[in-house]
Structure formats: structure tokens, C-alpha cells
Amino acid sequence: MTCGLLQKILVITCFHLIYLSSQQELNFVYHSFGGQENLYLDGSATVLPNGLLQLTNASDHQMAHVFYKKPIGFSSSKPLSFSTHFICALVPRPGFEGGHGMAFVVSPSMDFSHAESDRYLGVFNVSKNGSPSSDVLAVELDTILNPDFEDIDNNHVGIDVHSPLSVGTATASYYSDIKGNNQSINLLTGKPLQVWVEYEDTMLNVSIAPLEVQKPSQPLLSQPINLTEVFPNSSRLFVGFSAATGTATSYQYILSWSFCTNGGSLQTLNISRLPEVPQPRSEHKNYSQLITILLGFIATMGLGVLIGVYLFKKCKYAEVTEEWEKEFGAHRFSYESLYKATKGFNKDGFLGKGGFGEVYRGTLLLSREIAVKRMFHNDDQGVKQFVSEVVSMRCLKHRNLVPLLGYCRRKHELLLVSEYMPNGSLDEHLFDDEKLVLSWPQRLVILKGIASALCYLHTGADQVVLHRDIKASNILLDGEFNGRLGDFGMARFHDHGEYACPTGAVGTIGYMAPEIIDMVASTGTDVYAFGVFMLEVTCGRRPVEPQLQCEKRVLVKWVSRPTMEQVVLYLNNSLPLPDVSPYTVGFSSYSSVLIDAASLVASRSWSASSASSS
Ligand SMILES: *[C@@H]1O[C@H](CO)[C@@H](O)[C@H](O)[C@H]1NC(C)=O
Ligand SMILES: *[C@@H]1O[C@H](CO)[C@@H](O)[C@H](O)[C@H]1NC(C)=O
Ligand SMILES: *[C@@H]1O[C@H](CO)[C@@H](O)[C@H](O)[C@H]1NC(C)=O
Ligand SMILES: *[C@@H]1O[C@H](CO)[C@@H](O)[C@H](O)[C@H]1NC(C)=O
Ligand SMILES: *[C@@H]1O[C@H](CO)[C@@H](O)[C@H](O)[C@H]1NC(C)=O
Ligand SMILES: *[C@@H]1O[C@H](CO)[C@@H](O)[C@H](O)[C@H]1NC(C)=O
Ligand SMILES: *[C@@H]1O[C@H](CO)[C@@H](O)[C@H](O)[C@H]1NC(C)=O
């Protein structure tokens, strides 16, 4: 009895064992893939040291398969049902198109050697395209749009039975239970993505969601499928994954996987234990680094150019300023303003060249016309005195002085700014054939003007000013042909009642008084020079003409002196003054010209051209 019972129990147990072996229940979870137990891997599939299951890396035309080695057994008596939850990540290569995607696969065989990569996802091949020859169910996450597979877009989820032409498909999205609407998902962000596939009662549901979201209450895809019909000749099925790359590539990973059959309870995946997904930032970094470096380079170059321009300008317009000059600041012009006023000391504005430098015409703002005298010097000695005298001169105000406006100072360079005199210098009018010949009245006005200016310098100003270089070339003519004394380059200042310190014999040969040999300048030396200047203006020849014969060479010596008889007659106004012609001997000839106030009005014009023609 007991024996029979035991036998019965044994038979039942054996039957159950046989039953169980054919109708295997599966329930497994891979929080990560560290151990690889019970896993079949082929192609490019590999488990990374951190437990991440890498299906493909970003090389092209790869294919990978991973299967749980133990099959699901099923029979017609007990209908198949299963559910699975996995977390995957499709990581694009930065700067490249991502692809092709991966699939959850249910298949009677783990042999996919005939399958192809690229758009076939390692599941199908060309011959199976539309002509089912082998049994396979695939849930694809497809990131490439293949028109010949009637793909809806390059970011969709599809259910494939025997063929890459999906029986059900939808753009990747999930139903948000919180917001109550569908939220789209980009499969190719590289972020971990949750996927649920459930099959029960000939209904296959697929849901996806981002990592932080609970399983949506509504599936993305709900497809009626009778798996008993899909796998008619099979009693066991393998579950796993397939992935492929083509010319478009992605890193494709499974992070975590849970599976169970026939109503078993699906073990939850622990999201906080997921292996880290490498984000290939390096290339991106390199790229952005390159851009950063390039931008930095451009910025540096730009800055360099700016600094260069600044330094160039600074150098170009560099000036010398010293402490003692501060009090003269108001009289100082910036070099830049003078440079611009004279258009860079353009030769078009060149007025002339004197012993002390070149003179350029310029126009300041508000179209004020100026003359800029540019003097080069090698040592800074005397510059201080020079500048202070320049500034003193600014205080001199007389209608027969050329108004000095200010100065500018650079290394080895002094610039004097004065008002522009439109009619140039007197010597041009005396000696240059092309210039307007001055009439007697004009000459007299000029002489009177200069005499008045000298008088002012000697007695009228705060200090005694010795000009020390009076000559026709230093007399400028304003718009009304008034003589204006200019060029104070040799001027000396001293207080009234004092004497100028001996400074050396300066001046111009022919205008220098005999006593200047003693190195002492006085108002008298200016008077002497003025006398020579008067002769110069009246005679229309230079005080010294070295090319002439000996006795005519020096003007002062050459003018012959009249007899006392003539003098008496001249003084009594009984005899007309002689015609003073530059190259005739003084008083030998006579003319009707009377040098008195009345004669100035109706005098004949002076012929300087006749003078120079001989
Ligand atoms: C992908 O893996 C293969 C084999 O390990 C390797 O030769 C190739 O360089 C890898 N490609 C990339 C892009 O990492
Ligand atoms: C496609 O796969 C089947 C087996 O699944 C195989 O018989 C067939 O030869 C393959 N076709 C090509 C073109 O590889
Ligand atoms: C969400 O998307 C699914 C699949 O495309 C669709 O069946 C469903 O009606 C959508 N739900 C809403 C609320 O739009
Ligand atoms: C599949 O989805 C439908 C619709 O949401 C639902 O009625 C059904 O129970 C789901 N089936 C499974 C196996 O989850
Ligand atoms: C599924 O297919 C099998 C075999 O054709 C059939 O016996 C079964 O009734 C089908 N199931 C449903 C629910 O239609
Ligand atoms: C299934 O097996 C039967 C015979 O056992 C055969 O006639 C049929 O073609 C097979 N079906 C498939 C899809 O292989
Ligand atoms: C998930 O994993 C973390 C760390 O391993 C652990 O502390 C936590 O208890 C786990 N949670 C669940 C629900 O298993």
C-alpha cells in the first residue's frame, strides 16, 4: 500500500519533472552583466569591465547577438506568455549620423549567421525581405529611416514578425501618466532608455520611457499576435538581443535586463545600480576644443592686431613730455592732430625749407589754416629754453608778428604751429620772378609794419625781445600784404634794463652788425639788421650776392654814398630821389620818384624783374 503510494508519488514527481523540463519557467534578472552567466554572445557583443553589455561600438557594419542560453519551453496545452523589462542606451558618435538600432528578439534558434547587419539589424537578411522563411519575432528600436521597409521615420519602435516590414510601428514616445499626454523620446540621445515588452493572450504590448519615468499605464504599441502561429513547429524559444551598425554607427548597450514567463513576477530593475554608460565626449571635446583653440587663436590674433595698431599709432604719434612742460600744456598741440592737419606732412602742403626745418601747411578742425614748422634736432639741450621762449612768444601780441599758436615736441623733433600766412614770405616776392611784384606803397607798408613790430619787441613787451634774425625770408605776408615778422628761432628774451647774456654770434651773414663779433646781441644788432633789410627791400637784392664782382658783393658796402650837395638838395626836397636800381651804381641816375608820403600814392611800380635780369 505504502509501496504503491510511494510508487504513485514517484511517478507523479517524475511526470512533473519531465513536464517542468519541457515547460521551463524562466525568471531572471541582470542588474548588470558582470558574470555573463547563461549568456550567449556573438559578433561584436562584449561585456565591458563595468558590467555594461556592449552590443556594438561605433565601428561600421557590425552585428551582435546576445541570448539567454536557456530556452522558454512551451506547448499548445499551456499558452505562452512572458514579460520583459530592459534598459538600453544608443549612443551616437558625436559629429556622425547614428544607426542602425537594436531589437529584442524571440527566436527558436540562436544561430543568426545568415543575418545581415545595417538595416537588417542582425535579424533578417535579403531573402527574408518580405518572404518569411524563418521564425522570428523582433521588437526593433530603429534609428534609420528605410523607405523600402516602409519605415515611418528615423526614430521609431516596431514589431517585426518574420520580416523587417513591421506589423506594428510607432514614433518613439511614451504616455505620461502625470501630464496625461504622449511625450516624444529621441532614441539616439545616448541616455538610458527603459523598454517593456509583454505578451499574453495573443496580445503583444511595447512601452518605452526615459529612466526617471515609471512604466506608462498605456503601451506605445499594442499588437494582436498569436505566437503559437508565429512559431508553429517550435517547442522552445530563445530570448535576447540583436544590434547592427552600417555606415551609420552608434554605441549600443544593454545596461540591465529582467525577464519572466507565464505570469511569474518580473523582478524590478534597480535603477541606482546601473552601470555607467560611456559618453564619447572625447571627439566632441576635441572638436569643441579645436573650435575653442581656433576662436582663441582668432581672438588672440585680433587682439594682437589691435595692440599692434595701438602701439603703431602710439609710436607714430609718440610725443615727449616732461614735468617742466606741464605749465605750457595749454600751448601744446598733439602730434596726432598736427599729423592729421598736414595729412602726414604731405609734400602737397610743403611751404618751404629754412635753416631750421621744413614748413608745412595744414588745416585744423574748424578749417583753421596753420603753418607747421618741423625742426629736427639731435640733442635735447636748449629745448626747455626754446619751449619756454615759444610760450613767451605766444604772449606777444602785435599785428605785425606772425601769431604763434603753440608747439609740439617729440624725440629729436620740435614742431611750431603758427597761423598760415596766405601770401608767403617777402623774399619770394622780392626775388622770385613768378610772384607778384610789390609796389612801392606795398613795400613801404611792409617796412613800416616791421619797424613797428621791432619797436614793440624792444620796448612794448614785458621783456626785451631780440629777434636776432631779421631778413626778408623771415617776413611773411598776410592776406592784405602786411609784413609780419616770424621765425623766432634765434630770439632772446631779457628783462628791461638788463643785458642779454653773450650767446655766440648768431644771425645771417650780411645782416649781422659789426659788433656781433663781440658775441653781444642788443637791440642795436636788430636795428642794424633792420637797416640791411630796408636796403634789401628797396633795392630788391640780397645783402650778399657772392657770385657778383667783388665791390658789388656786399650790399651795405656797395651803396655809394651821395655828395653833401645832393644831401642838402634831397633834404630840402629840391631834388627828386634817385632811382635805386639793384645793379646800377647807387645814386648815379635820376628818376622822378620822390620818396615822400605823396609819392607813395602814385608811384610807378618797382621792377624787380629788371633787377634780376641783368
Ligand atoms: C570596435 O571594436 C573593434 C574590435 O574590438 C575595434 O577594432 C574597433 O576599433 C572598435 N571601434 C571603435 C570605434 O571603438
Ligand atoms: C537568409 O537566411 C536564411 C536562413 O535564415 C538562409 O537560408 C538564406 O540563405 C539567407 N539568405 C542570404 C542571402 O544570406
Ligand atoms: C499616444 O500615442 C499612442 C500611439 O501612437 C496613441 O495610440 C495614443 O492615442 C496617444 N495618446 C494620446 C493621449 O495622444
Ligand atoms: C496590453 O495593453 C492593453 C491596452 O492597454 C491592455 O488592455 C492589456 O492588458 C495589455 N496586455 C499586457 C500583457 O500587458
Ligand atoms: C493561436 O494559434 C493556435 C494555433 O493556430 C490556435 O490553436 C489558438 O487557438 C490561437 N489562439 C487564439 C487566442 O486565437
Ligand atoms: C512545420 O512542420 C511541418 C511538418 O512537421 C511542416 O510541414 C511545415 O512546413 C513546418 N512549418 C515551418 C514554418 O517550418
Ligand atoms: C538598489 O541598489 C542600491 C545600491 O546597490 C541599494 O542600496 C538599494 O537598496 C537597492 N534598491 C532596491 C529596491 O533593490
94: left (phi over 0), alpha (psi -120 to 50) or beta: beta
Q: How far is the CA of 182 from the centre of ligand 3 (A)?
A: 6
**Residue owning grid cell 552590443:** 55
CATH code of the domain occupying 317-420: 3.30.200.20
193 within ligand 1 shell (Cβ under 6 A) = no
Closest ligand relative to 268 C-alpha:
7
User: What are the pLDDT digits (tens) for 232-260?
Assistant: 888 889 999 999 999 999 999 999 999 99
Write out residues with Cβ below 6 Å of ligand 2: 114, 125-128, 134
Pocket test for ligand 1, best of 57, 249, 279 (most atoms within 8 A of CB): 57
Write out residues with Cβ below 6 Å of ligand 7: 270, 272-273
Is 80 exceeded by the pLDDT of residue 429?
Answer: yes
3-state helix, strand, coil in the chain (%, to 5): 30, 25, 45
**Residue owning grid cell 547563461:** 38
Ligand 5 atom with minimal separation from the 201 CA = 13
- Better-scored residue on pLDDT, 587 or 359: 359
Nearest-angstrom CA–CA distance, 164 and 307:
64
282 within ligand 1 shell (Cβ under 6 A) = no
Radius of gyration of the chain (CA): 56
Closest ligand relative to 283 C-alpha:
1
Read out DSSP for 76-127?
Answer: SSS---EEEEEEEEEEEPTTS----EEEEEEES-S--TT--SGGGTTT--GG
- Better-scored residue on pLDDT, 507 or 158: 158
Is 90 exceeded by the pLDDT of residue 158?
Answer: yes
Binding-site entries: 373
Ligand 4 atom with minimal separation from the 200 CA = 13
> Is the domain 435-559 a CATH 3.30.70.360 member?
no
Q: What percentage of residues in the chain have a pLDDT greater than 90?
A: 32
Nearest-angstrom CA–CA distance, 328 and 388:
8
Binding-site entries for ATP: 373
Residue 357 has what pLDDT? 78
User: What are the pLDDT digits (tens) for 432-448?
Assistant: 777 778 888 888 899 99
Residue 444 has what pLDDT? 87
Q: Is 82:199 a contact under the CB 8 Å cutoff?
A: yes
Is 80 exceeded by the pLDDT of residue 405?
Answer: yes
Nearest-angstrom CA–CA distance, 45 and 64:
5
- Better-scored residue on pLDDT, 85 or 273: 85
Q: How far is the CA of 219 from the centre of ligand 4 (A)?
A: 7
- Better-scored residue on pLDDT, 147 or 576: 147
Helix H or strand E segment including 430: helix 426-431
Residues 6+ apart with CB under 8 A from 578: 562, 586, 587, 588, 589, 590, 591
What cell numbers appear for 256 in the block? 540591465
Read out DSSP for 45-70?
Answer: -EE-TTS-EEEE-S-SS-EEEEEESS
Q: Whose CA is nearest to atom 5 of ligand 3?
A: 170
Q: Whose CA is nearest to atom 8 of ligand 2?
A: 114
Residue 611 has what pLDDT? 34
Q: How far is the CA of 208 from the centre of ligand 3 (A)?
A: 13
Ligand 4 atom with minimal separation from the 205 CA = 1
- Residue (of 62, 452, 470, 437) closest to 245 by Cα position: 62
**Residue owning grid cell 530592459:** 86
Ligand 6 atom with minimal separation from the 233 CA = 1
Ligand 4 atom with minimal separation from the 198 CA = 13
Read out DSSP for 358-394?
Answer: EEEEEE-GGG-EEEEEEEE-S--TTHHHHHHHHHHHH
Residue 22 has what pLDDT? 47
* CA separation, residue 18 to residues 23, 100, 215 (Å): 8, 42, 37
Is 80 exceeded by the pLDDT of residue 6?
Answer: no
User: What are the pLDDT digits (tens) for 383-401?
Assistant: 766 766 676 777 788 899 9
CATH code of the domain occupying 2-265: 2.60.120.200
CA 275 to chain centre: 47
Q: Is 469 a catalytic residue?
A: yes
- Better-scored residue on pLDDT, 105 or 355: 105
Residue 472 identity: A
Q: Whose CA is nearest to atom 3 of ligand 2?
A: 114
**Residue owning grid cell 560611456:** 278
Question: Which segment of 155-159, 169-173, 603-607 scores lowest on mean pLDDT?
Answer: 603-607
Q: How confident is the model at residue 607 (pLDDT cuts 50, 70, 90)?
A: very low
What cell numbers appear for 145 in the block? 529611416
Is 60 exceeded by the pLDDT of residue 583?
Answer: no
Residues 6+ apart with CB under 8 A from 123: 103, 105, 112, 115, 136, 138, 140, 160, 164, 242
Q: How confident is the model at residue 461 (pLDDT cuts 50, 70, 90)?
A: confident
Is 90 exceeded by the pLDDT of residue 47?
Answer: yes
Among 29-43, 174-188, 439-453, 502-516, top mean pLDDT goes to 174-188
Averaged pLDDT score across all residues of the chain: 81
Domain spans of the chain, in order of start: 2-265, 285-312, 317-420, 435-559, 561-614
Residue 425 has what pLDDT? 85
- The residue-averaged pLDDT of 177-194 equals 93
Residues 6+ apart with CB under 8 A from 510: 532, 542, 543, 544, 554, 555, 556
157 within ligand 3 shell (Cβ under 6 A) = no
Q: Is 263:168 a contact under the CB 8 Å cutoff?
A: no
Read out DSSP for 280-348?
Answer: -HHHHHHHHHHHHHHHHHHHHHHHHHHHHHHHHHHHHT-----GGGGGGGGGBPPHHHHHHHTTTT-GG
Q: How confident is the model at residue 551 (pLDDT cuts 50, 70, 90)?
A: confident
Is 80 exceeded by the pLDDT of residue 13?
Answer: no
**Three-class DSSP category at 241:** strand
Residue 76 has what pLDDT? 67
Residue 602 has what pLDDT? 32
Residues 6+ apart with CB under 8 A from 480: none
Question: Which segment of 18-22, 330-334, 434-438, 534-538 scores lowest on mean pLDDT?
Answer: 18-22
Q: How far is the CA of 30 from the centre of ligand 7 (A)?
A: 14
Closest ligand relative to 269 C-alpha:
7
Residues 6+ apart with CB under 8 A from 417: 333, 338, 370, 371, 372, 373, 404, 405, 406, 407, 408
Q: How confident is the model at residue 20 (pLDDT cuts 50, 70, 90)?
A: very low
Look at the pTM and tell me if it is higher than 0.75.
no
Q: How far is the CA of 60 from the centre of ligand 1 (A)?
A: 9
Q: How far is the CA of 270 from the centre of ligand 7 (A)?
A: 6
Among 117-126, 435-444, 497-506, 520-529, top mean pLDDT goes to 117-126
Burial 135-149 (b: 16+ CB within 10 A, else e): bbbbbbbbbbeeeeb
38 within ligand 1 shell (Cβ under 6 A) = no
Ligand 4 atom with minimal separation from the 201 CA = 13
Q: How far is the CA of 68 from the centre of ligand 5 (A)?
A: 26
- The residue-averaged pLDDT of 153-160 equals 94
Residue 141 has phi, psi (to 5 degrees) of -110, 100
- The residue-averaged pLDDT of 34-45 equals 88
Nearest-angstrom CA–CA distance, 197 and 192:
16
Given the residues 135, 151, 427, 469, select the one marked as catalytic.
Answer: 469
Is 90 exceeded by the pLDDT of residue 563?
Answer: no
